[in-house]
Structure 1
Amino acid sequence: MKTLAIDTSTQALSVALRDGDQVVTETTTNTKIKHSTQLLPLIDSMFKLVNWQPSDLDGVIVTEGPGSYTGLRIGVTAAKTLANTLSIPLFTLPTLMALAGNVQATTGPSLVIPFIDARRKTAFATVYLKEGYTFKPLFITSHGLFTDFLDQVAAYLADHDDLQGLSLNFLSPDIEAFRSDIEAKFGEEAIIFPSESGLIHAGHLGALPLREVDVDTFIPNYAKLSEAEENWVAQNPEEAKADEGTYVERTN
């Protein structure tokens, strides 16, 4: 099965072509160049590099979020357009699971805690129980103050004896902005991966659990309102209340 995989959830951009279990080619950049400028030319150049045509694809994979609003829209729109045009399946997975996949197979169970900076000392974060190459989500992906999230993790671990002693693996493209918070809460218990481990590699996505989604109805998981939407809600509380249910609940 030949697939194109795309991740545009963060400042980094990653695109890969995969044939079955083999990564044929992958390009990952981590610059401030807009994804809208890079993505389509990059996909085109990768097809030419391996002598593929878009019609050779059997499926498209894209991370669903949370992450950058603009980045997610660009990646998801490109993936949906290709899948719809070529009449091939569209597959997705949570951005934080894609990030957690950077922790390689361990000798025993471990806890993987991936997160992405959401500004103002908040983050999108979750916890996975990792056994081999499988990930079991222990938390619903949340948005809020990162220190509050760490408190919740500590309380959860205290209530679950079966998780005591498991390694705590923190990774994020924004790890340095939150390193002091992690160390203050967990000290030497925390294994803090370097920032390069927080880059999602599209070539790995095909090896992680995927779900097929409807091309016409699929939308990204933003997990929170954009700043512009939050400002609109604050300025138009009555209209926002009337439209309740169409907006993501603010969690901080």
Structure 2
Amino acid sequence: MTLDTHLYKYILAIETATPVCSVALRKPDGRMIEKRVEGTGVHSEKTFMFIRELMESAGIGAQDLDAVLFSNGPGSYTGLRIGAAAVKGLLFGTKISLYLFPTLLSYAVRALPDDGNASQTIHAVINARRNHLYIQKAGADLEKIGKPAVSELEQIKKELNEGDILIGTGWDRLNLEPNDKIGTIGTEGISATSLIKAFGNDRLKDYFEKAEPKSFEPHYLTLSQVNNSRIQG
């Protein structure tokens, strides 16, 4: 997909795939403002509120948005469902472009090191049921990006190397030791601003999927998929 993202002035991004509820707005001058909260059951109240507050703060209405970005899973069924409902309601009857982006890959964007050390691997993870995590791996320079999968904890631990970075939820279940020398970023690193950063990254444009607001569905993964242990997305 060809995206000329510099033409988009106001971009709204929504992240609800985990206990983090984050909504961000990029203004024409490139600055981003964000509303964010973390907790159980916060999405139903805060998602719609944050969207309204950010647009009021910028002095715009829904009709002024050029694009909406949505973190499309995998993740919490409830959080994704509420986020999708917010998108559908906001864009109903409009011609605003909706772009979906893989949740795990957006986490990898947040973990990119400043020095671009290509020897590091970023493991973006989200807690799954039983002894599994949703996982997607990416090189620190984004030259190599793996497919999302569901993998067992022990298998993930075997694939970690010194200097690698784990970001997301559920990685604490790996019971890492200090001498493993693995960098970790928890829920503090989950933000809708990562979607906006990805949208402006030439190497990630092909990972965005343009969708119809009224008919799209988030990427829910079922228990049967977890039972199969290794699901490619």
The bucket for the TM-score relative to the shorter chain is: 0.7 to 0.9
Which structure features the higher share of helix residues? Answer: 1
Structure-2 separation of matches of 1:20 and 1:191 = 38
Distance in 1 (alpha carbons) for counterparts of 2:49 and 2:116: 41
How much has 1:41 moved relative to structure 2?
1.7
Equivalent residue number for residue 4 of structure 2? none
State whether structure 2 residue 156 is matched by structure 1 residue 149. yes
Could you tell me which residue of structure 1 aligns to residue 121 of structure 2? 111
Give the total of aligned pairs.
211
Unmatched 5+ residue regions in structure 1?
155-164, 231-247
Structure 1's 142 and 112: CA in aligned 2 closer, same or farther, altered over 3 A? same
Deviations 1:32-60 (A, max 9, x none): 24311211122112211221111110110
Who is 1:122 aligned against? 132
Larger Rg: 1
Structure 1 residues 192 and 72: alpha-carbon distance in aligned structure 2, compared to 1, 3 A threshold: same
Where do 5+ consecutive residues of structure 2 fail to align?
Answer: 1-7, 199-203
Task: State the 1:173 CA deviation.
Answer: 3.1
Residue in 2 that maps onto 1:32: 40
In the alignment, is the contact (CA less than 8 A) between 2:21 and 2:42 conserved in 1? no
2:3 aligns with: none
Q: Report the identity percentage.
A: 26
| C-alpha separation in 2, matches of 1:149 and 1:15 | 30
User: 2:140 is paired with a residue of what secondary structure?
Assistant: strand
Aligned to 1:167: 163
Q: Is 1:220 aligned to residue 210 of structure 2?
A: no
TM-score normalised per structure 2: 0.79
Question: 1:52-67 to 2 correspondence within 5 Å?
Answer: 52-67=60-75
Counterpart in the other structure of 2:184: 193
Please name the residue that 1:161 is paired with: none
CA distance 1:23–1:251, change in 2 (3 Å): farther
Aligned residue for 1:60, secondary structure, equals strand
Report SS of the residue matched to 1:126. Answer: strand
- 1:113–1:125 CA contact under 8 A, matched in 2: yes
Give 1:196 shift: 4.6
Distance in 1 (alpha carbons) for counterparts of 2:98 and 2:133: 27
CA contact (8 A) 1:59 1:83 kept: no
Task: Kindly state the Cα deviation for residue 135 of structure 1 after the two structures are TM-superposed.
Answer: 5.5
User: Secondary structure in 2 aligned to 1:171?
Assistant: strand
| 1:3 and 1:60 in contact (8 A); partners too | yes
1:61 and 1:92 in contact (8 A); partners too: yes
- For residues 174 and 42 of structure 1, what CA distance do their matches in structure 2 show? 26
* Residues 43-122 of structure 1 mapped to structure 2, 5 A cutoff: 43-104=51-112, 105-109=114-118, 110-122=120-132
Counterpart selection for 2:193 from 203, 224, 245? 203
Equivalent residue number for residue 5 of structure 1: 13
Hey, which bits of structure 1, 4+ residues long, moved more than 3 A?
Answer: none
2:5 corresponds to:
none
Q: Deviations over 1:149-169 (max 9, x none)?
A: 333x36xxxxxxxxxx88311
